[in-house]
Amino acid sequence: MRALALRLAAPVLLLVAGAALGVGFAYGDDFYAMRKNFAIFGEVYEELATGYVDPVDPERMMRTGIDAMLETLDPYTVFIDEAANEDIDIVMRGRYGGVGLSVGRRGDRVTVLEVVEGYSAFEVGLRPGDVVLTVDGQTAADLAHEDVRALLRGTPGTTVDLTVEREGEPGALAFTLTRAEVQLKNVTYSGFLGDEAEGVGYLRLERFAYTAGREVADAVTAMQTERPLSGLVLDLRGNPGGLLDQAVEIVGHFVPRGSVVVSTRGRAAESERIYRSERAPLAPDVPLVVLVDGSSASASEIVAGALQDHDRAIVLGETTFGKGLVQIVRPLPHNTSLKMTTSKYYIPSGRSIQSVTYWRDEAGGHADAVPDSLRRAFETLGGRTVLDGQGVEPDIAASLGTLGELEEALVRRAAFFRFANRFAAQTPTLPTRFAVDDALLADFRAFVDAEGIDYETRAERMLAELIDDLETAGYDATDDEVAALQAEIADEKTADFDRHAPRLRERLRREILSRYVGQPAQVVTSLATDPQIEQAVAVLGDAERYAAVLAPR
């Protein structure tokens, strides 16, 4: 057992020791402390695994120790087991062997969430909303959705049997799917907005996997070949990031060769590096708007922030997530890995967009938002003032509104999802120019009422706390004033559906569309009613305003 403990510890020791030597610790106090504590850990592990009163699971105990150790650090430094390692590989390569099917849990059932056009699941007629019953004879209800996903993947050319339950169908439906190499697209849609003759292009980038830079270049070139671009909207909303080198390549399509895109700095000397654009830009002068939101993170923030710092684009939307930490993936034995934060990145003005500081004490790891008092001012290339410490802030703020408590409850209870299933079962073909009109919204409201979906508002929680405080203090909590507050809150909840109707209509429309058309068609229809797209097109069409936004202030 001692030998096993040493074999498990050795790869970690080599990794940590290598990093320590890289910053000049050599054989000093830190190296001694490392060796001492590894020896103690190994002895404790061996004694427990061999001598504890009850049998223990050695692997689970070791994993618990690893997880507890990493919890003292930032949330991006994680141990990746063999099953999750495949997902990292997909991010790196952007492809995998599968059937073009995305699954997840809706309530307690494994459900089809998305069907990718061009692959077996789409060809045989599977639909979003189908409930997975069995996969290759295994009952899906007994499996985590990650296990179902793993069963669907495999060597291209092999098959997998699937049975599903579909609303409106009397019995289970059986399908045989053929696995193929699924190429994840980074650019999921590109084309022209509004009147194509005006030449305003649009490009949606959903991830930064291996071929993201080339896909952006191909999309821009295709649009330029079709007609001259008078402007371009680069949509990074909801993009969580990916590979750093792809972010650098994408910025290079729009800024002069040799421009600084990002720099990284960490403890180890080799982590200090400056990344510059390496090629002549494809669209050096095309007016550019970058759309971002609170889910735009990491590589998305590098692209948005670098283009902002070079005064090359107007950033429009909501403040981004604020992840300015760089991770590398170190391979470990038995097809496992360690994803580890090694440095911070800084965009061209010199600012960090990291919005949270992580620190440790005897109680473990902690995280605090960067306070306004500690944010520092920097300047873009043209002299505009920008601040660090809270993501990339837009040049033009344009919010789609916050997720209300009603909408949040409807999403949590999968109300949109289940209503769309019922609608698709009752409506074989989608009406031309489909929209969620008053009648359909009323149907949805009746569905919600029939399902008994309720939620607690912040005002209700505060009133409940007040009533508890009054009763504790000996006051009567049933008087007329309290009753009046309760009635007013109930009226406000009743009015929530009408108050948030625009957001509810849009979410319901997207969910229903996904039952009939693929993702590109969904994007096209959503663009026509997207207020942020409307603002982006407006500023691109107004040369004076565009210049004024990018002028020093």
Residue (of 68, 64, 63, 65) closest to 82 by Cα position:
63
**H/E/C letters for each residue in 18-86?**
HHHHHCCCCCCHHHHHHHHHHHHHHHHHHHHHHHCCCCCCHHHHHHHHHHHHHCCCCCCCEEECHHHHH
Q: Check if 36 is active-site.
A: no
Q: How far apart (Å, rounded) are the C-alpha atoms in residues 53 and 242? A: 46
Contacts 24+ apart (CB under 8 A), 256-260: 256/281, 256/284, 257/281, 259/310, 259/348, 260/348
Reduced to 3 states (helix: H, G, I; strand: E, B; else coil), residue 301 is helix
Helices in 236-367 by DSSP H: which ranges?
A: 244-252, 299-309
CB neighbours of 229 closer than 8 A, spacing ≥ 6?
Answer: 199, 200, 201, 220, 223, 283, 286
CB neighbours of 520 closer than 8 A, spacing ≥ 6?
Answer: 117, 188, 189
N- to C-terminal Cα separation, the chain? 67
Reduced to 3 states (helix: H, G, I; strand: E, B; else coil), residue 544 is helix
Find out whether 211 and 240 touch, Cβ atoms under 8 Å: no
CB neighbours of 516 closer than 8 A, spacing ≥ 6?
Answer: 424, 429, 430
What are φ and ψ of residue 173, in 5° steps?
Answer: -110, 135
Q: How far apart (Å, rounded) are the C-alpha atoms in residues 282 and 313? A: 15
Helices 501-513 and 480-499 pack at an angle, to 10 degrees, of: 40
Query: What are the counts of helices (DSSP H) followed by strands (DSSP E) for the chain?
Result: 18, 23
Q: Check if 323 is active-site.
A: yes
Residue 489 CA from chain centroid, whole number? 34
Reduced to 3 states (helix: H, G, I; strand: E, B; else coil), residue 458 is helix
Catalytic member of 323, 349, 352, 530? 323
Q: Check if 339 is active-site.
A: no
Size of the chain in residues: 553
Catalytic member of 120, 190, 277, 298? 298
Helices in 364-479 by DSSP H: which ranges?
A: 405-412, 415-426, 438-451, 458-472
Reduced to 3 states (helix: H, G, I; strand: E, B; else coil), residue 546 is helix
Catalytic member of 74, 130, 309, 395? 309
Question: Any idea what the Cα angle at residue 232 is, between residues 228 and 234, rounded to 5°?
Answer: 145
Helix (H) or strand (E) holding 338: strand 336-346
Q: Hey, which residues are catalytic here?
A: 298, 309, 323
